[in-house]
Amino acid sequence: MKRILTVLFAILMFFPSSVLAAPAPAPSYSVTIPGGPTFWVHDVIRNESITIQVTDFPKGDPRYMVQLGRIGTLFEPIGVGELETNSGSSFRQTFRIPGRLHGQRNLAIQIVSRADGSYAHDIFANETGWNTNKLFTLSPVAHASSQDANSSVNIFQGPSFWVSDVDLSTSMPRITIKVEQYDGLDKYRVLVGENNANFQALPVLMLDKDSPFEGRYTFDLPSGLWDDDEIMIKLVNTHNGNSGSTAVTLAQDWEVITPYGQYTTTYFDLAAKSKEPRTGAPSTRILSVSQNTEVTLQLFNMPPEKEFLVTMGPIGTQGIGGFVIGTQTTGEGGNFIVTYPIPAQLQNEGLISIRFQSTSSGHYAFDYFANEDGYNAVTGGSTTLNPDWVLAAGTYPNTRIVSVVAGTSVSLTGTNFTKNDTYVVLMGLYGTQGIGGFVAGEIETGDSSAFSVTIDIPAELAGLDIIAIRLESKNADYYAYDFFYNR
């Protein structure tokens, strides 16, 4: 018996300890795919590879596509492989970073179930040695909506948040934030760091589908920030990079201050600290329209000393590639009123998109207006604009690819679409989001915001491996885009 035990001991010593050790628990800011596994970034080699840790991999033989891309509105998923199905419930897997993404400072990873289309996103720094627990820097992302300043949300199509308390009464400083209008559709990572130009951030929380619509969240300030005077707090959408930020002084008589270099700001009334302050964000508001002549609008919370290119285009384009109206300098920034002429090429158009694009950074804002005398945002739009064509703030159309007949047709479902509306279906090259693509048909939504439909693939695209598809409303500034593998 003694000899058998000795042999067993020798065998155990021979195997690596990692085989016997229990898998590391998922950090609180890891990402979980609905009905699927949890993952987080374990290690990155710049411009070469990303290694992720996976836990709670479901039983059976599910298949999950792994995709990488840039964060922000330019996210175009690039397939880099699949999660291995024979690696057990917990494992690590490495994927190469495509050459198209080399040099990007921050990237996004997306994992999609081939079974039901459920997916999850996360963001990471393209830096050697980076993992979920380490510092990384995010550039500010500013967007605007057509909401007025009194009702605009802190994050474009996302939640509002602000600091409600800083507690220095214990040995570990604690900060509490209040979050409102969180719909649970996307995940938001809460980051903290020193309020300076670099904002090297540490993750402290993750908002996901289990988080309430309205709630308070208290977190311990990481020890490396205890000696700093000013702390910045940022919420970042892990899917598209939309973000909002605020900053506080780290003192017993704390106050909320302006985040360094950030144009999306939470404002706080110090005299009414206990009264749940409201928030403001970069936004636009249409004040008046003279049909085929000019539009007057107010700009809110614009960054100082920036030059913006002003363009107008057809509805659904967000002004991208539109007719150049001129440039707008922001001077001291903040809020101001401007008037622009409607170009001859868009006269008699029913709805027009207008866009402000910075000439020196990636910041932009867009809005739309009805080309009718007297139109303004205060009255909720033109008297002829069907209320069925207006979605609630923060709501936008979504699509899901159901099946494909290679070279022939694609079947999809739509949710959150405007009712009694007509959507033009466009298909084009992968990466174009369907903009300027071939017209493949039209969809009548009827009295429901959801539908299922099969669309023929244009002959010109039948041989492509991946196809972009876009649905644009004929009557309002709403659209949705997706892509599918033509197989």
Per-residue confidence (pLDDT) for residue 151, from 0 to 100:
27
Spans of the chain, pLDDT less than 70 = 1-24, 28-29, 61, 71-75, 86-87, 103, 135-158, 198, 239-242, 258, 260-283, 300-301, 316, 332-335, 361-364, 377-386, 392-395, 431-432, 436, 477
* Contact indicator for 265, 281 with CB cutoff of 8 Å: yes
pTM, whole model, 2 decimals? 0.37
Per-residue confidence (pLDDT) for residue 283, from 0 to 100:
61
Cα–Cα distance, 209 to 182 (Å, whole number): 9
* Contact indicator for 189, 177 with CB cutoff of 8 Å: no
Residues in the chain: 487
The DSSP string of 390-425 is -PPTT---EEEEEEEETTTEEEEEEESPPTT-EEEE
Per-residue confidence (pLDDT) for residue 477, from 0 to 100:
64
* Nearest alpha carbon to residue 354 among 308, 317, 397: 317
**Could you identify the residue written with the tokens 């959507």?**
423
Domains in the chain (CATH in brackets) are: 31-134 (2.60.40.1930), 160-272 (2.60.40), 283-385 (2.60.40), 398-485 (2.60.40.2060)
Cα–Cα distance, 113 to 35 (Å, whole number): 9
* Nearest alpha carbon to residue 346 among 295, 283, 285, 288: 295
* Nearest alpha carbon to residue 32 among 51, 49, 56, 52: 56
Per-residue confidence (pLDDT) for residue 457, from 0 to 100:
94
Residue 312 to residues 212, 294, 343, 414: CA-CA distances in angstroms?
A: 39, 11, 8, 28
Per-residue confidence (pLDDT) for residue 455, from 0 to 100:
95
Residue 18 three-state SS: helix
- Strands, DSSP E only, in 258-397? 283-290, 294-302, 307-314, 323-329, 334-341, 351-358, 364-370
Cα–Cα distance, 155 to 177 (Å, whole number): 15
Cα–Cα distance, 428 to 380 (Å, whole number): 34
Per-residue confidence (pLDDT) for residue 382, from 0 to 100:
41
Per-residue confidence (pLDDT) for residue 175, from 0 to 100:
93
* Nearest alpha carbon to residue 154 among 188, 110, 120, 193: 188
